Amino acid sequence: MIDQLIAKIKKTEAPIVVGLDPMMKFVPEHIRQMAFAEYGETLEGAAEAIWQYNKEIVDHIYDIVPAVKPQIAMYEQFGILGLLAFKKTVDYCKQKGLIVIGDIKRGDIGSTSEAYAVGHLGKVQVGSKAFYGFDEDFATVNPYLGSDGVKPFLKVCQEEKKGIFVLVKTSNPSSGELQDRLIADAGNRPLYEVVGEQVNEWAKECMGDSYSYVGAVVGATYPEMGKILREIMPKSYILVPGYGAQGGKGKDLVHFFNEDGLGAIVNSSRGIIAAYQQEKYASYGSEGFGEAARAAVEDMREDIRQAIESR
């Protein structure tokens, strides 16, 4: 799957993943009203609204980006009905030829981590038969529990030709509270470097053609750390959140890419899916939110291209 992801990045010339995080405040009024008219102000109505919203976004961007990243929390908050909308979104994106990165940040131990891996990337056994659960192409994984939590994902990835992105240095302001702490038994280097080294070990065992299917999450908001982590994990794709709304800019991104122009895929969520709410794209109106999203993708692609060219 990492080879397919890279092929699609080359084809679209867009190392971009669109975050499908459909907060209700992003969903245009007319979509909400249509859904509530049919299902009332219910969980079903909310699920319908986010599904229709996603569908129109996807219809406008599927041919110019390689991948989407639905954030499962935004669906899970609506309970079962929200998760049905998540599954519908995953399936629809795959139908449209997009690679789906499930932003699930799961992490547990042993058989429990295996259950998450199976449910999101693999097949679960039921008697003599086996079924796919959510069936994303990649998943994000939390490393706090150690390799017991990660290895079951690697096993499923090997079987299914899928991949993971391990959280290394997250984009949020407080990520340093644990991730930046200096590790005495690792030469006083920060914890994120230690995690990066672990990721690199796993990555070397899980190679695609030129990159590993074990990647890492490193926030655009920490470009200097990204530079170091890029060197520590040369074979890992870096999934980079934090561009746009969280403050990361094109020029901050260059260190996340390797010399081959590959090695990173940058996420933008609200900057694309809620572009119509920005002054810059206001002329599209809320009815034109899909076209605004497409325009925002094109601008983002140009911003990254220029940044890489001028490095």
Which residues in 69-105 are b (16+ Cβ under 10 Å) and which e? bbbbebbeebeebbbbbbbbbbebbeeeebbbbbbbb
Pick the stretch among 8-16, 175-183, 202-210, 249-257 that binds a second copy (CB under 8 A): 175-183
Identify which of residues 63 and 205 has a Cβ nearer to a second copy in the complex: 205
Identify which of residues 78 and 289 has a Cβ nearer to a second copy in the complex: 78
Binding mask 7-36 for a second copy (x = CB under 8 A): --------------x-xx-------x---x
Q: Considering only residues 176-205, where is the footprint of a second copy by CB under 8 A?
A: 176-179, 181-186, 188, 191, 194-195, 198
Which phi and psi angles does 77 have, rounded to 5°? -65, -20
We find the least distance from the C-beta atom of residue 49 to a second copy, in angstroms, to be: 9
Check if 105 is active-site.
yes
Identify which of residues 180 and 303 has a Cβ nearer to a second copy in the complex: 180
Cα–Cα distance, 84 to 138 (Å, whole number): 19
Cα–Cα distance, 227 to 111 (Å, whole number): 35
**For a second copy, which residue of 34, 59, 64, 142 counts as binding (CB under 8 A)?**
142
Which residues in 146-179 are b (16+ Cβ under 10 Å) and which e? eeebbbbbbebbeebebbbbbbbbbbeeebbeeb
CB 253 within 8 A of CB 304: yes
Binding mask 41-80 for a second copy (x = CB under 8 A): xxx-xx------------------------x-xx-xxxxx
Identify which of residues 102 and 288 has a Cβ nearer to a second copy in the complex: 102
Identify which of residues 133 and 261 has a Cβ nearer to a second copy in the complex: 133
Q: Considering only residues 77-106, where is the footprint of a second copy by CB under 8 A?
A: 77-80, 82-84, 87, 105-106
**Length, in residues, of the chain:** 311
Q: Which of 217, 308, 214 is nearest to 255 (CA)?
A: 308
The two three-digit tokens of residue 251, written as one number: 């020029």
We find the least distance from the C-beta atom of residue 268 to a second copy, in angstroms, to be: 15
Cα–Cα distance, 1 to 208 (Å, whole number): 8
Q: Does 167 bind a second copy (CB under 8 A)?
A: yes
- Torsion of Cα atoms, 183 then 186 then 190 then 196, to 10°: -130
We find the least distance from the C-beta atom of residue 63 to a second copy, in angstroms, to be: 28
We find the least distance from the C-beta atom of residue 38 to a second copy, in angstroms, to be: 13
The active-site residue, picked from 94, 96, 105, 155, is: 105
Give me the active site residues, please.
Answer: 105
